[in-house]
């Protein structure tokens, strides 16, 4: 089985949990013998033919232009990083096409492909809705537009059995690939715009999410929480939805030994500083705990649109060096801060799943997670509290600080629990989704006698 997979994030191209989820998922699918042609938002027009587990770390690349690929093969790179930078995967890619060019091209694609005479009315409406909302001058929208344009060539020239697209950023590409190839489409919903925005959010994103899920043959939701969301908010047919929880697997060379930064108890927030993740609630909890335990230190690791607001709020509360902002952390720095912490807290307002709590628990941190999260469905050895209940969260942290042995015991039990949640099981479920989708597709293609 060969999959054409579109995703916006994959290590080292990461801005959130999506990248780590795709990494673990793809590695486990490769272990099952499934071949994957991975498409990322790179500077150059390349794809990554992944055939064995080790490929997720080396990312072998193929340029779509044969002459550029020959040139690439003749270059001797001193490191993996240098090779990936040559491809354009060192950071979040910028747009390399002018917006006017994109709009003109989209009109042609819409006319020639998406609204051809062979397209049924329902299909026309979905594509019209998607293209109408894939317009905007923001950097992110430009990047999605460019990524979608490239998808046409991948769809026409690569050989595959099924298409798998992750989150709204790649849904237009998945839809276009399905239309061009006639192959079935599976879309993976890791988070909805309702989750990210903590409310209505951007109408364009809602429309693209809705179009993608409606046009897909199957929709994989990362939790029951997310499945309920897409059924109630997007009116997606329940028969199309399959629930596959995420997992987390530590690398074999990870060092778990504690390496403290502070003498006192250390509490960690690790995630994007956005409304969805509840960083403002974390700050309010910190104020309450520090009043009772001035020896405690709170670390806020991550970046996001709430950074300045949180900095000002921390200053107004006079938390000083008891509340620390790290900014963006690379992979090694994330592991360092996990080894230095005792308690992890993520008071998400709406969390479809949440990979970082699993990661924290894998490092032995006692975790406090929001009841409004998908990860709460799969773990038992963690405190589950409503995101808005800052008093109960503060009381829980105070108790754990005052009872360090209990804190360590719960952390150890959580570590054992998370170590049993493997990507292999999730990959088996995804393989079953692939098989069922292909089987149904073949039945539709072969007329009954």
- All structural domains of the chain with their residue ranges: 2-247+426-445, 266-419
Q: What is the third-level CATH fold of 266-419?
A: Rossmann fold (3.40.50)
pLDDT beyond 60 at 99: no
Which helix (DSSP H) or strand (DSSP E) does residue 268 occupy?
Answer: strand 266-270
**Which one is predicted more confidently, 310 or 258?**
310
Q: pLDDT tier at 298 (50, 70, 90 boundaries)? A: very high
The reply to whether omega before 12 is within 30° of 0 (cis) is yes
CA-atom Rg of the chain in angstroms? 23
Question: pLDDT tens digits, residue range 54-82?
Answer: 999 999 999 999 999 999 999 999 988 89
pLDDT at 132: 57
State residue 327 phi and psi, 5-degree precision.
75, -165
Average pLDDT over residues 22-44: 95
Structure confidence at residue 96 as a pLDDT band (50, 70, 90): very low
pLDDT at residue 145 tops 70: yes
CB atoms within 10 A of CB 235: 10
- Per-residue tokens: 415: 């570590």
B/e letters for 68-81, b = 16+ CB within 10 Å, e = fewer, are eeeebeeeeeeeee
Of 180, 34, 46, nearest in space to 109 by CA: 180
Asked whether 423 and 31 are in contact (CB, 8 A), the reply is no
User: H/E element holding 5?
Assistant: strand 2-6
In 3D space, the residue among 116, 112, 136, 134 whose CA is nearest the CA of residue 124 turns out to be 116
The residue count for the chain: 449
Q: Is residue 28 within 8 Å of residue 426, measured between CB atoms?
A: yes
Q: Name the 3-class secondary structure at 434.
A: helix
pLDDT value at 121 more than 70: no
Question: 10 Å Cβ neighbour count for 340?
Answer: 17
Q: What is the pLDDT of residue 272?
A: 87
pLDDT at 134: 63
Does residue 194 have a pLDDT over 70?
yes
Strands, sheet with 62-63, edge to edge from the N-terminal-most edge strand: 62-63, 46-50, 35-39, 2-6, 162-166, 185-189, 218-221, 241-243
* Band of residue 197 on the pLDDT scale cut at 50, 70, 90: confident
Identify the pLDDT of residue 117.
Answer: 45
Q: In terms of DSSP bridges, do strands 35-39 and 46-50 run parallel, antiparallel, or are they unpaired?
A: antiparallel
Q: What is the pLDDT of residue 105?
A: 44
Question: What integer best gives the mean pLDDT of the chain?
Answer: 87
Q: Cα separation of 147 and 204, whole Å? A: 17
pLDDT at 137: 55
- Full-prediction pTM beyond 0.85? no
Q: What is the mean pLDDT of residues 330-343?
A: 91
pLDDT digits (tens, 9 = 90+) for 232-269: 989 999 999 999 999 887 766 676 778 888 999 999 99
Q: Output the pLDDT for position 20.
A: 86
Report pLDDT digits (tens) over 11-28: 887 766 788 899 999 999
Cα–Cα–Cα angle for 23, 238, 244, rounded to 5 degrees? 25
The pLDDT score that the predictor gives to residue 94 is 40
pLDDT of 101 over the 50 cut: no
List the CATH code of the domain at 2-247+426-445: 3.40.50.2000
Q: What is the pLDDT of residue 328?
A: 84
pLDDT for position 97: 34
Backbone φ, ψ for residue 330 (5° rounding): -80, 180
Contact, 41 vs 8, CB < 8 A? yes
| Domains 2-247+426-445 and 266-419 are alike in CATH topology | yes
Asked if pLDDT for residue 125 goes beyond 80, the answer is no
Residue 351: the pLDDT is 86
Instruction: Tell whether the model's pLDDT for residue 362 goes beyond 50.
Output: yes
Q: Stretch 183-206: mean pLDDT, rounded?
A: 87
394-413: average pLDDT: 96
For residues 267-283, average pLDDT: 93
**Residue with the two structure tokens 């309920």:** 228
* Residues in Cβ contact with 109 at an 8 Å cutoff, skipping those fewer than 6 apart: 149, 152, 176
């Amino acid at each position: 089985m060969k999959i054409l997979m579109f995703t916006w994030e994959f290590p080292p191209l990461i801005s959130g949990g999506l990248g780590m989820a795709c990494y673990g998922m793809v590695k486990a699918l490769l272990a099952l013998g499934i071949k994957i042609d991975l498409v990322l938002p790179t500077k150059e027009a390349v794809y990554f033919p992944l055939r064995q587990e080790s490929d997720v770390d080396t990312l072998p690349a193929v340029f779509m232009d044969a002459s550029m690929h020959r040139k690439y093969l003749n270059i001797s790179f001193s490191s993996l990083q240098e090779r990936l930078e040559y491809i354009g995967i060192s950071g979040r890619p910028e747009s390399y096409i002018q917006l006017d060019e994109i709009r003109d091209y989209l009109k042609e694609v819409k006319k020639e492909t998406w609204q051809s005479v062979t397209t049924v009315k329902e299909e026309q409406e979905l594509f019209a809705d998607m293209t109408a909302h894939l317009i905007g001058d923001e950097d992110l929208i430009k990047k999605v537009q460019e990524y979608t344009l490239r998808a046409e060539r991948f769809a026409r020239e690569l050989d595959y059995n099924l298409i798998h697209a992750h989150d709204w950023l790649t849904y237009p590409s998945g839809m276009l690939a399905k239309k061009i190839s006639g192959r079935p489409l599976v879309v993976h919903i890791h988070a909805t715009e309702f989750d990210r925005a903590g409310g209505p959010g951007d109408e364009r994103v809602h429309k693209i999410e809705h179009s993608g899920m409606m046009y897909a043959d199957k929709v994989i939701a990362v939790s029951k929480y997310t499945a309920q969301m897409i059924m109630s908010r997007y009116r997606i047919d329940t028969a199309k939805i399959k629930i596959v929880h995420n997992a987390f697997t530590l690398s074999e060379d990870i060092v778990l030994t504690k390496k403290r930064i502070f003498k006192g108890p250390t509490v960690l927030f690790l995630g994007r500083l956005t409304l969805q993740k509840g960083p403002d609630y974390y700050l309010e909890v910190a104020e309450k705990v520090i009043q009772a335990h001035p020896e405690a230190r709170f670390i806020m690791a991550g970046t996001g649109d709430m950074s300045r607001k949180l900095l000002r709020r921390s200053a107004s509360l006079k938390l000083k060096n008891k509340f620390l902002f790290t900014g963006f952390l690379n992979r090694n720095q994330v592991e360092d801060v996990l080894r230095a912490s005792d308690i992890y807290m993520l008071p998400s307002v709406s969390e479809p799943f949440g990979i970082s709590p699993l990661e924290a628990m894998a490092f032995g941190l006692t975790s406090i997670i929001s009841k409004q999260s998908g990860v709460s469905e799969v773990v038992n050895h963690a405190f589950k509290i409503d995101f808005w209940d800052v008093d109960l969260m503060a009381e829980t942290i105070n108790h754990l600080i005052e009872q360090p042995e209990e804190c360590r015991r719960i952390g150890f039990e959580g570590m054992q629990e998370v170590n049993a949640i493997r990507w292999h099981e999730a990959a088996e479920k995804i393989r079953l989704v692939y098989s069922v989708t292909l089987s149904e597709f073949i039945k539709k293609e072969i007329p009954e006698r």
